[in-house]
Amino acid sequence: MNTSPAFRPLPSLAGARAESVPGLRLQKLRRAALDAREAFVKEGPVAAVATCDLVTFPYPAQFAFSGAALSPAPYAMLTNRMQVVQFVDREGARRTLLFNPSDYERGVSAPFYRALRERYGAIVSDKVMSTRHGSVQSHLAALGLTPADVDYLAFDHLHIQDLRGWLGGDGMPACFPRARLLVQRAEWEVVMDLHPMQAVWFVPGGADIPRERVVLLDGDVWLGQGAALLSTPGHTRGNMSLAVATSREVFVTSENGVATESYTPLQSAIPGVRRFAEHMGWEVVLNGNTREDSLAQYSSMVVEKLFAGTSTVDGAFVNFHPSSQLTAHVMAPGLSPTVVLPAPNFGDVRPTPASRRAA
């Protein structure tokens, strides 16, 4: 395993998380999230971020809004997206991070999606129920990058991820020759010894990669100017969120929620969501396919909401961008998003001299 001295903790949040009483912890996290956001923004914007659509896929509607959405459709449609982030680290070097570079060709080996494919067949699964928008490699090429330009890979969580094609292992060559995986220690420990209720979402053997390519994180890390990874446990035990500051706003990305309106459910036009939130007294509605850490997930979503702040495009919504975003689809009546904010894009992604020399 690796540690990286170039990363530093983000102030304020760790102390609030140490509170053992969930209600008090949430109160402290509210204050800490605003303090951490202020410090984060003061250091200035990220060098560049580009958002790339990867694949649209079916997801159980009962999970998407914790059972709140009323629709005859069994599945909501989500679009998985990758962020290419370039930031200047503490040593003054421009680094490249891929956030959620899903290898969706291998991801279908997760038991849930393998069973879905067996039920509906390859043609319906590949041509009707999913849409491929571009691969990780094709998006990098369109941005003028090669796999050798990438310093780090990170995922908000490791559901349906197979890391072997990207980082090597199990006899597979590594697509990314220099990259290291940034992952929360809690997430890595879960993947190494799955509980039966968790296993359906993980690719068997998907984390069997060389250990020297893994950087374990313990909580929030400030990657560099304008870029941070927030520890936001809940959807999984080691869930984390990407936070990116531009010159105008802060973007936050994860899969704790499947839509921007998951964070402002009283603004949702999806049948059932607003009524559910009002009835339960919830200010956020969870992406609820894992229930073991629901209290933590709710609190993490509040942190994400406060850290992102309101959208500069539509002030009724917060600037949260799901890593797998609810997508309008003919197969999912009543499950179209109320709002789709412009995707996180800022600055110019470009090859860096350091990465070219190393390659």
Q: What is the CATH number of the domain that holds 208?
A: 3.60.15.10
Given a cut of 70, whether residue 45 has pLDDT beyond it is: yes
Given a cut of 50, whether residue 345 has pLDDT beyond it is: yes
Q: Residue 281: inside a domain, yes or no?
A: yes
The answer for residues whose C-beta is within 8 angstroms of residue 233's C-beta and 6 or more apart is: 184, 186, 239, 293, 296, 297, 300
Q: Residue 4: inside a domain, yes or no?
A: no
Q: Residue 263: inside a domain, yes or no?
A: yes
Q: What is the pTM assigned to this prediction? A: 0.95
Structural contact between residues 305 and 285, judged by C-beta atoms closer than 8 angstroms: no
What are the tens digits of pLDDT across the range 210-227? 999 999 999 999 999 999
pLDDT of residue 5: 47
Structural contact between residues 203 and 158, judged by C-beta atoms closer than 8 angstroms: no
- Pairwise CA distance, residues 78 & 146, whole Å: 27
CA dihedral 354, 184, 11, 45 (to 10 degrees): 40
- Bridge pairing between strands 214-217 and 180-184: parallel
Q: Residue 357: inside a domain, yes or no?
A: no
Please state the rounded mean pLDDT for residues 319-337: 97
Q: Residue 359: inside a domain, yes or no?
A: no
First to last CA, the chain: 22
- Pairwise CA distance, residues 137 & 88, whole Å: 23
Q: Residue 355: inside a domain, yes or no?
A: no
Domain that includes residue 68, residue range? 10-349
Q: Residue 62: inside a domain, yes or no?
A: yes
Confidence label for 354 from pLDDT (cuts 50, 70 and 90): low
Structural contact between residues 238 and 188, judged by C-beta atoms closer than 8 angstroms: yes
Q: Residue 2: inside a domain, yes or no?
A: no
Looking at the 3D structure of the chain, how many domains does it have? 1
Please give the C-alpha separations between residue 305 and each of 80, 296, 339, in angstroms, as whole numbers.
20, 14, 16
pLDDT of residue 356: 59
Q: Of 37, 41, 33, which is closest to residue 14 (Cα–Cα)?
A: 33
